[in-house]
Amino acid sequence: MELPNLNCNNMLCIVHFYCRWKEIQQGVWRSVLSGQIWTLKQTDTKILYQVHDTKGNIPGAVIKSEPLSEAKPGRSKGNSVKQFKEEAGVGAATPVYEIKSEEGNSCTDILTDYFQLNVSLESLYKQWQAADGNFCQVAADFPGVRILRQDPTENLFAFICSSNNNISRITSMVEKLCIHYGKKVGCIDGEDWYTFPSVVALAQDSVEQHLRDLGFGYRAKFINQTAKIISKKENGWLDRLRHVSYQEAHSELLQLTGVGAKVYLLVVLISTKIFTTIIPFKTKKTTFWKAWYAHVK
């Protein structure tokens, strides 16, 4: 994969607080994605990834490790993966496996969907540069920045946590949700990793008070009530909204407690395939907007 198409360091640095990516060392990122622990690293020419063994068959083993641009059966893994294993603390003799996710997608398919690699970023950059002189000035400094296609359940509840909040507290709240209501995936380098909790787990009657005790404040009620509303809908309701019209998604999501216009737009922007000309606008960005786009009405 050519680097202008994806820049992990720029992207994950921006979104780590609600997507749970942690920079375990410079340029090496780790998180839980599709029920597995992933480690990503960007080199000068490739994006490398590992999916760690969480079943305990081989302690510290890696299920799959190969350059994203070379993710084809039978191709040589090359020295770059050997270097990655060394930097990530995985032995050179660690077995490498080819697996499928629960949905039947390969590891490459999961990352392609997550980073929306089927969207031509090069053509979009050209379009934006032609239309916006300000973008022309900064585009070269921010190559490969994409919108993640995050799991809608995780995205929704993470942004409910973000209401009137700062990055440090958002990160802490999302982490607490995972520790107390998610499932432990595994332990790597002495750190436990958890899935994001299911709607069913967050819909329990005891959740609101427990979250208040953990410091969630009024968001505890929003999280619990929203989970209860979703749990009463048909199975897969939230995932189905990934494929409906903007108007239908708007109508459905605004039924949820604690989901106002900003949270709704962020969920649509990050978790669905709905592309809209409406964008979330944070009050803190007013100064930037006035300085760069005062001429836009």
Asked whether residue 144 is domain-assigned, the answer is no
pLDDT score of 140 more than 70:
yes
**Same domain as 160, residue 113:** no
Domain containing 265 — which CATH number? 1.10.340.30
Q: Average of pLDDT values for 135-150?
A: 82
Using CB atoms within 10 Å of the CB of residue 148, give its burial: 0 to 12 exposed, 13 to 18 middle, 19+ buried: buried
Please tell me the predicted confidence (pLDDT) of residue 247: 77
Beta bridge partners of 33: 36
**Same domain as 113, residue 36:** yes
Q: Average of pLDDT values for 196-222?
A: 96
Q: Residue 244: which domain range?
A: 152-271
User: How far apart (Å, rounded) are the C-alpha atoms in residues 187 and 132?
Assistant: 46
Q: How confident is the model at residue 56 (pLDDT cuts 50, 70, 90)?
A: low
Question: Quick one: tokens of 196?
Answer: 């994001």
Please tell me the predicted confidence (pLDDT) of residue 43: 73
pTM of the model: 0.76
Looking at the 3D structure of the chain, how many domains does it have? 2
Most confident of 49-53, 91-95, 195-199, 257-261: 195-199
Most confident of 12-21, 42-51, 67-76, 162-171: 162-171
Question: Quick one: tokens of 15?
Answer: 């979104």
> Which among 103, 119, 135 is the end of a domain?
119
- Is 262 one of the annotated active-site residues of the chain? yes
Contact of 158 with 170, CB cutoff 8 Å:
yes
**Annotated catalytic residue, options 77, 176, 228, 262:** 262
**Same domain as 15, residue 62:** yes
**Same domain as 164, residue 105:** no
